[in-house]
A and B are shown apart, each in its own frame.
Chain A
């Protein structure tokens, strides 16, 4: 938690109460958050087309979203 301002605590409480967080966060179902690089704005296909990934000036670090 990088921000402990009251308004964000309120937001946090709302998210947790709405079911976003808690046990679900522990499930860590997505693969490689913060570990695997992925293409930007990937219209992701089931098969990983990482081979077509091109690192250009427009491409920033981006974390894998395709595989869940």
Chain B
């Protein structure tokens, strides 16, 4: 071929893969730490972009946009801390091992680390949370999407999602929806549920 190739550092993504990558980025950001004011203020814009009354995902976005408008960063940090960071036993665990094995740092983490090593990934230096944190798993999925939109890459995405996210995201969402005295994260849970359900169904089509 004599055509000039558009050489980039990452493969060109289709519209849907770009959107998937961005959804994973948003979900990671929602759960990695309390959204700061900047990110919180962007959520209604994202909701206007992706929101729609015609799909579960679109509805989840609209509701999350409303929730973002109804809370400030300080209140949200309080909610995040109370839900996820309480010393001892937080209201809601964000780690897959807890849902898949009943305890933190159990067998699923060992398997996850093996799969990450296979993918050439590891935990960032200085990070104390284990790799099965929902935000970390979303980071991995985004990485797999942007680096491997081809058939082989899709296979890697499917395997990782099926092994490390699909078994427990619903339990996480239920815990978020049951949590007392919170108003933002149950809405975030609806987005998690809607998006991951789409992912699961779409992987089934491969």
Picked from B10, B20, B39, the residue with its CB within 8 Å of the CB of A15 is: B20
Interface of B is mostly: helix
A interface residues, how many (CB within 8 angstroms): 52
Q: Of B46, B117, B126, which is in contact with the most chain A CB atoms at under 10 Å from its CB?
A: B126
B interface residues, how many (CB within 8 angstroms): 71
- CB-based contact A41/B28 at 8 Å: no
CB B144 to nearest CB in A, in angstroms, measures 10
A30 to B143 Cα, complex, angstroms: 13
Q: Of B121, B138, B149, which is in contact with the most chain A CB atoms at under 10 Å from its CB?
A: B121
Given A33-B146, A34-B146, 11 extra CB contacts under 8 A: A11-B202, A14-B198, A22-B19, A25-B15, A40-B139, A41-B123, A42-B32, A59-B122, A61-B9, A65-B24, A68-B26
30 CB-based A-B contacts, threshold 8 Å: A5-B151, A8-B151, A8-B154, A12-B14, A18-B198, A19-B57, A19-B58, A22-B15, A23-B50, A25-B15, A25-B19, A26-B15, A27-B49, A29-B46, A29-B49, A39-B124, A40-B116, A40-B139, A41-B139, A42-B124, A43-B129, A44-B28, A46-B32, A46-B36, A49-B126, A53-B124, A62-B121, A65-B139, A65-B143, A68-B39
